[in-house]
Amino acid sequence: MKGGCLCGKISYRISGNIVGINYCHCKQCQKASGSAFATSAAVNIDEFKITTGKNYLKAYQSSEGKDRYFCSHCGSPIYSHRRHANTVYIRLGTLDDDPVKRPEVHIFTTEKAGWHKITDNITQLNEDEELWF
């Protein structure tokens, strides 16, 4: 599967299967996405590779040990990674192919935007995002 940022400078390839997909409603994801929530796909770090534009990739440490990677040219959020974790969380809107899997869980719903209403029947969790799979 392939994906990339809005301007096209950064592209990536996922060589394995997506482990799982979540909707994260935490306040940080609201800020980082400019929207009500971020949709992210957990991928094994060994199966994720930046194929072009690595020099445009910048990281912002949004909390202790957690980096959010984005395109420094167009601002697209690409993925996040907790240092030492063996998975990365790809921002699913940047994927160009069908991820095959579908979102399985809402996380951090206690921080959900008051103006957004969850209307599906997918499981809602308030725990840390690493605990869901």
How many angstroms from the chain centroid is the CA of residue 81? 9
Q: Which of 1, 18, 21, 26 binds Zn ion (CB under 5 A)?
A: 26
DSSP 115: T
Sketch the per residue contact string, 55 through 74, with Zn ion: x for CB under 5 A, - otherwise. Answer: ----------------x-xx
> For residues 18 and 26, which CB has a smaller minimum distance to Zn ion in the complex?
26
Residue 81 engages Zn ion in binding (rule: CB under 5 A): no
Are the beta carbons of 116 and 107 closer than 8 angstroms? no
State the virtual CA torsion across 118, 120, 124, 128 in degrees, nearest 10: -70
- Mapped onto helix, strand or coil, the DSSP state of residue 5 is coil
Q: Which stretch binds Zn ion (CB under 5 A): 13-21, 27-35, 94-102, 114-122?
A: 27-35
Q: What tokens were used for 9?
A: 């400078």
Residues forming the site for Zn ion (CB under 5 A): 5, 7, 9, 24, 26, 29, 71, 73-74
